Amino acid sequence: MNGWLLAAAVVLTGGLGAALWGVATGPLRRRAVAQNLATVLAGSGLLLLAQGYDRPSYLDLALVLALLGPVGTLVFARLLADDLAADPPRARAATWATVGVAAATVAAVCAATGPGRAMGKLLVTGALLIGGNLIASRALSGGFGGVRGG
């Protein structure tokens, strides 16, 4: 068990555990936000796991999650729009804290990888993870008025 795996364990237990608590209890808006943040935290955990096991091909998992996580959240934002519009979620602090964790993870793994193609892939994954999360949380809080209804 090296330091990367330890960091992955900390991110997964602390972050995903908290997200799980958020998604299992409380009002619908908190559940939706927690589901969104869970994908980002799991993505960071997968990045750390790939580095910990020293298998760069495991990065594909984080890349796919970075692509599909926001899609899943947008599905919820679209189909639960009526419930969420009555009680829009606001979780700016939690969102930015999670984005901070993801950015720190990407930076650390980048520093360990060194320049090259692998680092480019890492940066793309991190950008997708963070950008997708920000777009999804904005959609959840009703930032895109035009896509509502129907």
Residues that bind other proteins (CB under 8 A): 1, 5, 8-9, 12-13, 16-17, 19-20, 23-24, 28, 31-32, 34-35, 38-39, 42, 45-46, 49, 52-53, 55, 57-58, 60-61, 64-65, 68-69, 71-72, 75-76, 79-80, 83
CB-nearer residue toward other proteins: 17 or 131: 17
Which is nearest to 102 in space by CA: 57, 56, 69? Answer: 69
* CA separation for the pair 131, 139 (Å, rounded): 12
3-state secondary structure of 72: helix
Least CB distance from residue 110 to other proteins, whole Å?
20
Least CB distance from residue 103 to other proteins, whole Å?
20
Least CB distance from residue 101 to other proteins, whole Å?
15
CB-nearer residue toward other proteins: 80 or 103: 80
